[in-house]
Chain A
Amino acid sequence: MMFANFDFDVIRRSLSYLFLEGMTFTLTLTALSTLGGLVFGTLIALMRLSGLGLAGRIAGLYVDLMRSLPLVLVIFWFYFLVPYIGQWLTGAARPIHVGAFASSLITFIMFEAAYFSEIMRAGIQSISKGQPAAAQALGLTYGQTMRYVVLPQAFRNMLPVLLTQTIVLFQDTSLVYVVSIPDFLGAASIVAQRDGRLVEMYLFAAVVYFIICCFASFGVRRLQARIAIVR
């Protein structure tokens, strides 16, 4: 039979390792990358829309570059580049040692900022011209206009898209596997190879990802429906 020697016990035995270490890493990385990506992405979007020629063009090039490259290649790039950047920033004599978590966090923030910036740019462009005009007429500075008028609305309008991108990011964090960092999938893979239980561990990982993403995308759909009614 197909599942005759399916060993549920290997899953039970490794549950605490999988979730306390692996899933904690995955979720922390997802949350902090979303936050950082959103902040940098918004800055990039503002640069592109600022009308400052050179800054806008550099931001545009950065976004196009990141979006043309596979995430796996970007992970390799930053994995080797970050120690040198650290050396350059701190003026150390040799490339500094960067931990697994910091390295992947920097990678995902830099990569996702390109994708979040496109979403925020669409959000900012969807605000009617009268809004910043009214803000200016009230005497608000550019910074205040963005902070109190444009960005809150852009963020709100784009919330479903931003959350969908976060789900994609959550799935993409599994790719840190290529530099042997134990996220949730990495942890499952370590147990799988140690105990020779590939079938059990990979199926279990698939089910866990599936359930989390299903619930999350269901939540996004409900949110979308609620926002649609308000407007």
Chain B
Amino acid sequence: MNYHWNWHIFFEPEPSGTGTYLDMLLSGLVLTIETALFAWIIALVFGSVVGVARTLPSKFAAAIGFAYVEFFRNMPLLVQLFIWFFVLPELLPRAWGLWLKQLPHAPFYTASIGVGLFMSARVAEQLRAGIGSLPRGQKQAAIALGLTTAQTYAYVLLPMAFRIVLPPLTSEFLNTIKNTSVGITIGLIELTGEARSMQEFSFQVFEAYTAATVMYLLLNIVVVAAMRVIERGVAIPGYIAGK
């Protein structure tokens, strides 16, 4: 091997002069977390609405939900980001398109919304499965008590379904974190992007990617540990997961 390892590179100043290479990677990590959280909120909100729609008695709502999920699931995330970033501003009326293009932090918003919508289709499928796994009697009992459809969902079905699908939702959140790295293609310099820049500036390819790898692993461990605590806190008594 004629590769020259230099692990001290992290403490050397990076070319733009605002700090060391380590600071650069850490700021990328922060951006990854911010993008992932913003995307996750969008995924949860849209995913919940669509997931519920797919289980409603209304054929129309179910069809809309089905179309939504198929739309966002059947295109690569990268293509979806390109559509939001490059195509959408051109198709809107001129003034709006211009406003979109001049928006500060456009890659951040585009990546968050793009990843969020992409993940919302998966959240919807998980929630639908969760609602579907509940015994029929729960819904029937709610209706027999005179609850409206909205009340049935709000007080009976959703509190159960969300707790049941918490473990798969944890993996979807981890996927959201990983998917933010696709934002690199529209100029979002998150953790993978910063590692890439560090590699280009310093030529220390493997140190840069090793550091990014370690940071992703730590992030994963923190999220999994936090979700375990939440899972224990909201476990349904009487189920295997409960006490």
Contact = CB atoms under 8 A, between A and B. Distances in A.
A91 B78 CA distance: 38
Contact of B1 (A88, A189, A210): A88
A76 interface: yes
Given A88-B1, A202-B83, A72 B182 contact: yes
B78 A177 contact: yes
A69 B196 CA distance: 15
Contacts of B82: 189, 198, 202, 205
Chain B contact residues: helix, strand, loop or mixed: helix
Nearest to A198: B86
A65 B79 contact: no
Contact of A209 (B75, B181, B184, B195): B75
Contact of B181 (A72, A198, A203): A72
A199 B192 contact: no
Interface stretch (A15-23, A46-54, A79-87): A79-87
Contacts of B134: none
B1 A174 contact: no
Which of B70, B78, B195, B196 has the largest count of A CB atoms less than 10 A from its CB? B78
Contacts of B86: 198-199, 202
B133 interface: no
Contact of B79 (A3, A72, A206): A206
Given A65-B217, A178-B184, A202-B87, A209 B76 contact: yes
B169 interface: no
B74 interface: yes
Contacts of B75: 171, 206, 209-210, 213
A87 B195 CA distance: 24
Given A68-B217, A73-B212, A76-B192, A2 B78 contact: no
Contacts of A178: 184-185
A77 interface: yes
B209 A76 contact: yes
A107 to B, nearest CB: 13
Interface in B150-194: 174, 177-182, 184-185, 192
A213 B74 contact: yes
Contacts of B71: 210
Interface string A154-195: 000000000000000001101101100000010001000000
Which of B178, B195, B217 counts the most chain A CB atoms within 10 A? Answer: B178
A217 to B, nearest CB: 7
Contacts of B74: 209-210, 213-214, 217
Interface of A: 2-3, 65, 68-73, 76-77, 80-81, 84, 87-88, 94-95, 171-172, 174-175, 177-178, 185, 189, 198-199, 202-203, 205-206, 209-210, 213-214, 217
B213 interface: yes
B6 interface: no
Contact of B179 (A3, A70, A177, A205): A70
Interface in B86-103: 86-87, 90-91
Sorted from nearest, which 3 A-B pairs have the closest CB atoms? Answer: A70-B181, A213-B74, A171-B76
Contacts of B206: 80-81
Given A72-B181, A80-B206, A209 B79 contact: yes
Contact of A174 (B76, B174, B216): B76
Contacts of A2: 91
A203 B83 contact: yes
B138 to A, nearest CB: 26
Contacts of B70: 214, 217
B72 to A, nearest CB: 10
A80 B80 CA distance: 27
Nearest to B212: A73
Given A177-B78, A209-B76, A213-B73, 4 more contacts: A69-B217, A73-B181, A84-B1, A206-B75
B18 interface: no
B220 A203 contact: no
Contacts of A3: 91
Contacts of B192: 70, 72-73, 76
A171 B81 CA distance: 13
B2 interface: yes
B34 to A, nearest CB: 16
